[in-house]
A and B are shown apart, each in its own frame.
Chain A
Amino acid sequence: DTAVSQTPKYLVTQMGNDKSIKCEQNLGHDTMYWYKQDSKKFLKIMFSYNNKELIINETVPNRFSPKSPDKAHLNLHINSLELGDSAVYFCASSQGSENYGYTFGSGTRLTVV
């Protein structure tokens, strides 16, 4: 039933490790996004894919790499994790223009120790 699901919900890992966060949507939307929410709740767009094509690639370290195997999935892979990567990462989806609003997943809380 979940419209946008992210896994895992919590991720605790050591510095230098590589980790992935998965996102799937069952809404039939054609656009998916990754946002990073910092400790002050500020939300920043990282990436967006439309029908598996990368359309937004904001200034983030190249240790972050999104992958979209199909339009229902958008995964985020992070290499060589750093303390500053600790945050909540949200996946979202929309149909066409974001004028219709986004549907968000429940977030993945990443803690790097």
Chain B
Amino acid sequence: GDSVTQMEGPVTLSEEAFLTINCTYTATGYPSLFWYVQYPGEGLQLLLKATKADDKGSNKGFEATYRKETTSFHLEKGSVQVSDSAVYFCALSRGQAGTALIFGKGTTLSVSS
């Protein structure tokens, strides 16, 4: 079945460091891909998305490119801030009736000043 695999955390970085969180997927067809972020004690918020191959999603300095050839959707940010500390989830959608978003296991990011 369809699935999403994320790198295990936690990821610990200093402020202004470069961030990469790896995400790969297994799916039939052409899924849409998402990154969600969960701050402590809150629900998930959509961070960015891409709906077709080679699309780049971006938001708040974060970017991810839909790579069909490597079935990947890695999240990157050039310079992280303490406020970026959160859990990041990669997810895919098959876009079919009766299906729901499939999430990866989440990667905890901790940024120190």
Question: Chain A: residues with CB nearer than 8 A to chain B?
Answer: 4, 33, 40-43, 45, 48, 50, 55-56, 90, 92, 97-99, 101-107
> B90: shortest Cβ distance to chain A, in Å?
11
Q: Are B99 and A56 in contact (CB under 8 A)?
A: yes
Residue of A with least CB distance to B34 = A101
| Closest residue on chain B to residue A33 by CB atoms | B100
A88's closest neighbor in chain B, by CB?
B43
B32 touches A48 (CB 8 A): no
With A33-B100, A48-B100, A97-B93 in contact, is A102–B105 under 8 Å at CB? no
Residues of B within 8 A of A (CB): 32, 34, 36, 38, 41-46, 49, 51, 87, 89, 93, 95-103, 105-106, 108
Residue of B with least CB distance to A102: B101
**Are A99 and B51 in touch, CB under 8 angstroms?**
yes
Find chain B residues with CB under 8 A from A40 CB.
Answer: 105
Beyond A97-B97, A102-B101, 11 extra complex contacts between A and B, CB < 8 Å: A33-B100, A43-B44, A43-B103, A56-B98, A97-B96, A98-B95, A98-B101, A101-B46, A104-B43, A107-B42, A107-B43
Contact status B34-A106, CB under 8 Å: no
Cβ B43 vs Cβ A90 within 8 A: yes
Docked pose: A42 CA to B49 CA in angstroms: 20
Name the residue in A33, A40, A50, A99 with the highest tally of chain B Cβ atoms < 10 Å from its Cβ: A99
Question: With the chains together, A97 CA to B31 CA distance in Å?
Answer: 12
- Which residues from A are CB-within-8-Å of B95? 97-99
**Residue pair B100, A98 in contact (C-beta under 8 Å):** yes
Contacts of A56 in B (CB 8 A): 98-100
* With A48-B100, A99-B32, A99-B95: A105-B105 Cβ-Cβ less than 8 Å: no
**Which residues of A have CB within 8 Å of B49?**
101
Pick the most buried of A43, A48, A103, A106: most chain B CB atoms within 10 A of its CB.
A43
| Minimum distance in angstroms from B6 CB to a CB of chain A | 11
Q: How far is the CA of A50 from the CA of B100 in the complex (A)?
A: 12
- Residues on B with C-beta less than 8 A from A97 are 93, 95-97
- How many Å lie between the Cα of A102 and that of B89 in the bound state? 13
